[in-house]
Structure 1
Amino acid sequence: MSTATERPHRIMIVTDAWEPQVNGVATALSRTVTELRRMGCVVEMVTPWDGYRTIPLITYSEIRLPIMARDEVERRFLEFAPDAVHIATEGPLGWYARAVCDHFGFPFTSSYHTQFPEYLTARWSWIPLWAGYGYMRKFHGKSGAVLVTTPTMRAQLTRWRISNVTPWSLGVDTEQFHPDRRAATAEPGRGRGVYSDLPGPVFLYVGRLAVEKNVQAFLDLDLPGSKVVVGDGPARADLEAGHPDAHFRGRRSGEDLAQHFADADVLVFPSRTDTFGLVILEAMASGTPWPASTRPVRVTSSRGPARAPPTTTCAPPAWPRWTAHARRRAGTPSSSPGGRAPRPSTPSSTCRPRRCGSASGGAACSGCRPST
């Protein structure tokens, strides 16, 4: 048993993705660091913003890649004298930290946040999938534990002969993301709250705007009401030019982002390369339902919005049914005390609890299809 006189655990986390970048990796790590420090741990972050010489990532100028930083990473490692090292990303800093740990025989853990093999093949079709997984196998080969967000990802990496894979659940702040944020009333045929200037129902996408996110598939859908895109990225200019009917609101954060989730009628998450999709949990915690993509995809469902459970597979959505459900949600009258909007109506009970893990069949179950 630890005592008050023992020094706190010293943890070094090395990541190529960190604030001010806006992505799921940076968000998950930021919350992890906050909780570790709250538990009394001393956390040393090694990030691209620590004064290293950097170059822009191809097609992502906002992402900076440190170069010639191995000696500095080693100096910080020796100076901090960590009890544990976690390497969060497979970028240059990750490789430098891996080399330092290997040199001193120091154990480390790693994590798999992004399906880089699929990402690379989506951007450059001449790169075979096996080559990307060979890169991943080499990087994670000496890791004591490769942390992944779901058992589905563990099974996938195991099939590609990556060992020591362990599920690592993620969650969201259910005080920030909550159904009570939903605006109480809306004019007939209009959106609620932050969308009051738009026709309803409101279909929302939140995330980076890049080719691997498959945002084009969402924008190509024939849907009533309004399509709203929250986020930024290298594909924004082309998407805006090709879809003048969509509403691009740029990056949002904090209370503003939470309001955008709660006031939307449906979240659309079309990505086929994400390992998790933290925005799905943020939407579910906000009471906003979401359909699966246009083909069977990995999704999560839970008994509560704060924990990420094992993944499953849901059938493609029937968009006419989801359109009808969005119309009903957009037109739900306010009847809750204190002027709060009621919780969204439940999609029909085609949910199978064994399949999706949600016994309630409520908005937290993305596998449920609204009835017509």
Structure 2
Amino acid sequence: MAKITDAVDPGNAGGSVLIPEIPTLPNRPVTFHCDKCGEVFTEREARRQHVFDHHPFKRPQLLVGSRMVKERGEVMASQFLPADWIIQQAERIVIDQQDVSSQEACRRLSKIISGFHEVTLTSADYSVTYQIEFDIPTEAQLLAVEKAFNMLIVNQPLESERIAQFITVAKREDGGRYYIEGISDFLYGVLAKDQRGGTSLNRDDYTAKFHAAREALHFMDRPLANLIKALVNFNDNAFSEAEILAPGGQVAITCRILNGLRSGKHCPPLETRTASGHNLPVDTLTAEIMRFCSLPLAEQQEQLPQLAHLASKSLTTEHDRVKIQALAMNTCWEAGDHEPAVSWARMLRHSPLFETLANRIIEDVEND
């Protein structure tokens, strides 16, 4: 039987095959072209820097009230004027599958009060879609929530059952859902942090409750909502943000003092005692810190052992402990008690918040 290979002509008796002559070309320099404008570069890095400087990536953005809108899960619980809505870097705008101009988009967004809506912004480089839920209560509904809060929470012992009662009464108005959630989450967070009022929450749950409250009230511009957000920021040691939201009363005084200490400056205590200025229930540590900051120097000296005792307790959070240490350091220094001031300063010499002032106090005493 013939083999398949028998039909193959090896040609040249299986020898080598001549390769046609390949013409040689002169070496040409390697170049890199910009896809945007066509400019030619001799180095890849030069092209990269050119694109970075002259053709920056343009990502569309949607802002309201100077704050970024989240792409997913954003809830608008407060109405804004057309001028408060800002669209950046968008060449095409689509709201609920309808093309609109930038001016029309801002006008339309300012009028929506309920439902889920989709906003797509497109630039030459990128497209981003925002999915926004609008749940904007009427002024009457907001006032009803605040009335229930004043009736059931203000000047009353804070307990789980009372918070549940507030939620029940406030929900009868069928509005202000996120207002109610933000207030109640904050109040439950206070109970969790103090472990009182019949709470079933663990102590560590207070942080999640506080942050949930701030998120629910994110776009709500009401005095009560702003005070809650300010107190959450204060608990997180974000003093500047807290003072902006609550520019009056004990919250603002305390934030100004702690911000001064953070910037490395001594802060003389107030000359006279200052009243609270708010009726919102707060946790014990926050109340003690704000009360201490509202006292004149002589009273601060009297109250310092009590405040120092709180700093030594195992249940005191690290955020609160560092605030107490900074206030104790400042009080001792202002009173001329430099030795205890240095002892407090040594606890803060590696603190990201107060290390500047702590190290300055240590150096001043050591160099005397």
Q: Is TM (by shorter chain) over 0.5?
A: no
TM-score normalized by the length of structure 2: 0.29
TM-score normalized by the length of structure 1: 0.29
Q: Which has the higher contact order (CA 8 A, sep 6+)?
A: 1
Structure with greater Cα Rg:
2
